[in-house]
Amino acid sequence: MNAAKRLEIFRRFHEDNPEPKTELAYSSPFELLIAVILSAQSTDVGVNKATARLYPVANTPAAIYALGVEGLSEYIKTIGLFNSKAKNVIETCRLLVERHGGEVPQTREELEALPGVGRKTANVVLNTAFRQLTMAVDTHIFRVSNRTGIAPGKNVVEVEMKLMKFVPKQYLLDSHHWLILHGRYVCLARKPRCGSCRIEDLCEYKQKTSDD
């Protein structure tokens, strides 16, 4: 795919949705961090239901740490893998209090040192909470990048590096939101909705579908 096509793809994404946002509900960097940890292999809708119960009771590292694993599990037991997630969140809260004064760190290295925080989670927090130029490649972005030809790669890190290189700079900050939303609602895994796709004429996917 050439640079002119990529520029037009992101120009259209921006035109349709000038200020894209994550679908996770949060009101602070810490709330976002916990929501992203909980969202692994879970839906944003499911996470939002759990945090809607949790955050009014505890929404700081100290407050959630005080709940303990069992206390926290009661709030998040509707989410997949809640037992291991509860342990990770409690340990993360302990480290945030002890090492970071209760604040969410703003570097990838410090974030990835927290339990339950991998490269993708760190990138989401850095981009969404702190507006840093990072690219969080999830299954949707990996699929869209490969299927369309925007940034094909064999693994998520390769796709991340290509997107950081190829996405036009003026669109880079918000691009991961556009790509996630496109993968979630249009470029679906089983059958992409090519007939409803804003970038169908620019996409290099060979097996275009109708929406029938």
Please check the confidence at residue 133 and state whether its pLDDT lies above 80.
yes
Please check the confidence at residue 210 and state whether its pLDDT lies above 80.
no
Confidence (pLDDT) at 211: 67
Average pLDDT value for residue range 130-136: 94
Mark whether 138 is an active-site residue.
yes
> What are the residue boundaries of the structural domains of the chain, listed by start?
1-18+133-200, 27-128
- The per-residue pLDDT for range 19-52, each reduced to its tens digit, is 999 999 999 999 999 999 999 888 999 999 999 9
Query: Which CATH code for domain 27-128?
Result: 1.10.340.30
Q: DSSP per residue over 97-124, as a string? A: HHHHTTPPP-SHHHHHTSTT--HHHHHH
Whole-structure pTM value: 0.88
Would you say 203 is a known binding-site residue?
Answer: yes
Q: Which of 5, 44, 120, 154 is catalytic?
A: 120
Asked whether the domain spanning 27-128 has the same topology as the one spanning 1-18+133-200, the reply is: no
Would you say 93 is a known binding-site residue?
Answer: no
Is residue 143 a contact partner of residue 189, using CB atoms and an 8 Å limit?
A: yes
- The per-residue pLDDT for range 6-17, each reduced to its tens digit, is 999 999 999 999
CATH class of 1-18+133-200: mainly alpha
Closest CA relative to residue 198, chosen from 148, 134, 146, 129: 148
End-to-end CA distance of the chain: 28
Mark whether 212 is an active-site residue.
no
Q: Which of 5, 21, 87, 138 is catalytic?
A: 138
